[in-house]
Structure 1
Amino acid sequence: MPVIAVDKPLNLTSHDVVNRARRARGTKRVGHTGTLDPLATGVLVLCVDDSTKVVQFMEADSKDYLAWISLGAGTPTLDAEGPVEETGDVPPLNPAQVQTLLQSFTGPQAQVPPQYSAIQVDGQRAYAVARAGGALDLPARNVVIHTLDLLGIFPSVEAAPRTFDPQNWTPTNTGDTDTGRTFTLPPALGEFPTLLVRASVGSGTYLRSLARDVGGALGVPAHLGGLVRTRVGRYDLRDAANLDGLHEAAGIPDLAALDFPVIEADDRVARELRQGKRPAHPARGRHVVTLKGDLVAVVDGNGEALKVVRAWA
């Protein structure tokens, strides 16, 4: 069964989209490979029926975003849900200096997640505790930010571009949807200077935390005024299905969805992997093993033998 990339609309949770997919596809076996916040739009990858077996291997996919970072106003959720609970005067912003600042946030780092997140501590969801007026001690998590490109500095979210060239996700000079893709953002919380940033990040990175931290580096509170996810792994937003087309979306087979090199095994190697053995093989790193086009296993190779991560009969 297929893996389907969906363009999640504004104000729907990822679970809302999963429920719609279940109804549209006539199955309860639907999962997603990574939550997208209600106030964010863009690529949400769904695995249907037997494809749910590969979800765990897609959760670590890298992701690309367009992010509108509003400076001078902080919110409890770190996004445009609000309310504004802290303000500060934003210093004059020089594009070259801001790009240098953004560059300092790239690479491996420890990032503190938002209090309003799905992270669990001792069985408690952080967002549930936060909405009840409490707070959890959320330890910093190791993440990787690959690239951050400043696409412009604008006096507000409303003044920033919303129409983009889908080939490279840069702003176009027109709102004509024939030549660009126009996005709907949450209502702005006020007139706050806004950075438009194109980001490529590793799994587990919170763009809301990045907005908070960029503001902190500039000495002001900040929040994420808008967010669009343009890519997850090999799935690009320009190829994503809309919700109305879920019932007929073809997607791609689960094997093609796994973004790992492929080892075509013979009967002996496939049998040994399914038995939990470690057949000799020169491959290094994570691979998918197939037999006559069928998925056999996901393995890790050390240059001498293959270790099974998961195998299928």
Structure 2
Amino acid sequence: MNGVLNIYKEKDLTSFAVVKAVRRLTGVKKCGHLGTLDPLAEGVLPVCVGYATKLVDYMMATDKEYVAQFELGYSTDSYDVTGNVLEKNDDIKPSKEEVATVLSSYIGEPDLIIPAFSAVKINGKRAYDLARKGEITDAGRRSMKINDISLMDYEYPEGMFRMSCYKGTYVRSVIHEAGIKLGTYGVMKGLIRTVSGAFDHKKSYKIAELEQMKEDGELEKAFTSVVDATGWPIAIIHPDAVNLVKNGCSVKSHNYIKLPDGSSDMYFMAAPDGELLAFAEYKQGDTSPLKIVKLLA
């Protein structure tokens, strides 16, 4: 089995537990998800299976969309409701307009604090391990890319917003810093990832649904091909050159039945029967138009 399963991770499950369940369901050891969701969060968690794991870095480098619930009036060490309370201030009750203005101020590429309870590495160690030992209170700062934020609902002390962002953006960080800017503190109360690249929550599967599909002999219907997941076009190799590609050779133009047209930076190389052989980078003006990145066959 090869491809991507669009999993709906339910609340309280770890991302690792989802991957473990996919390994059990598919019988394939090579599985990996496209971006961790905290146990508190739920929603879209695409899991790559088989040779699709070779494209994880490319499929992770996409925009994501979240719907987040927040609560004002206090802060915690984890920036969400599961953490230990650090500060309280319920004297200030920001208006809906004030909250919307502060949230929208983060559109762009703001420099935000990284939660101590996160999976980033500090000197080779996970931040959350250092945080549990009391060795750090945050994991530094970095630029995060936020495309859009819109306040959906708010009545003090709770509210909800939708946010579109690039990988590596912590919703908890936005809420934490917005709370400070509003003068009242804030924590994340809930989070749903609604979109991850080509994957939408409306077409996702819970683990129990996949278990039923396997029982019915229909598990393969749940897979999205790597072609559909990436949107990359396909260049077709001449039958005489298929083995050359399987051996890692970036073949010359005359070895193609269907040449890459330059419409994309990345392509799949396929045999005439449709078998995917490799994915490759387009090289304009080169005698070998595609340079193999990784083999799939």
**Shared fold (TM-score, shorter chain, > 0.5):** yes
Equivalent position of 1:21 in the other structure: 22
Q: Name the % identity.
A: 31
Match status 1:261 vs 2:245:
no
Match of 1:241 among 205, 208, 212: 205
SS in 1 for 2:210: helix
In structure 2, how many angstroms separate the alpha carbons of the residues matched to 1:134 and 1:93? 34
Equivalent position of 2:249 in the other structure: 275
Match status 1:222 vs 2:154:
no
Match of 1:287 among 251, 256, 266: 266
Change in CA separation of 1:14 and 1:140 when aligned onto 2, cut-off 3 Å: same
Equivalent position of 2:294 in the other structure: 310
Q: Please state how far the C-alpha of 1:209 moved relative to its aligned partner.
A: 0.8
Q: Unpaired runs of 5+ in structure 1? A: 156-192
SS in 2 for 1:58: helix
TM-score, with structure 2 as normaliser? 0.82
Q: Please state how far the C-alpha of 1:132 moved relative to its aligned partner.
A: 1.3
Residues 37-63 of structure 1 deviation map (CA, whole Å, 9 limit, x = unaligned): 000011111112332222222121211
Q: Please state how far the C-alpha of 1:214 moved relative to its aligned partner.
A: 1.1
Residues 223-270 of structure 1 deviation map (CA, whole Å, 9 limit, x = unaligned): 101101111111111111111122334333432343243142443998
Q: CA RMSD in A?
A: 2.7
Q: Determine which structure has the larger helix proportion and give its number.
A: 2
More displaced stretch, 300-309 vs 73-82 = 300-309
1:176-195 superposed matches below 5 A: 193-195=157-159
Letter aligned with residue 249 of structure 2 = Q
Letter aligned with residue 144 of structure 1 = K
SS in 1 for 2:84: coil
1:62-77 superposed matches below 5 A: 62-77=63-78
Q: Please state how far the C-alpha of 1:152 moved relative to its aligned partner.
A: 1.2
In structure 1, how many angstroms separate the alpha carbons of the residues matched to 2:108 and 2:295? 33
Change in CA separation of 1:302 and 1:209 when aligned onto 2, cut-off 3 Å: farther
In structure 2, how many angstroms separate the alpha carbons of the residues matched to 1:301 and 1:216? 47
Residues 70-117 of structure 1 deviation map (CA, whole Å, 9 limit, x = unaligned): 112111111111222211136343333432322210112333211001
Equivalent position of 1:251 in the other structure: 222
Residues 159-210 of structure 1 deviation map (CA, whole Å, 9 limit, x = unaligned): xxxxxxxxxxxxxxxxxxxxxxxxxxxxxxxxxx122101111011111111
Q: Please state how far the C-alpha of 1:18 moved relative to its aligned partner.
A: 1.4
Aligned residues: 276
Change in CA separation of 1:136 and 1:302 when aligned onto 2, cut-off 3 Å: farther
Equivalent position of 1:213 in the other structure: 177
Change in CA separation of 1:276 and 1:143 when aligned onto 2, cut-off 3 Å: farther
Larger radius of gyration: 2
In structure 2, how many angstroms separate the alpha carbons of the residues matched to 1:58 and 1:96? 36
Match status 1:10 vs 2:11:
yes
Residues 291-310 of structure 1 deviation map (CA, whole Å, 9 limit, x = unaligned): 24443444444754555443
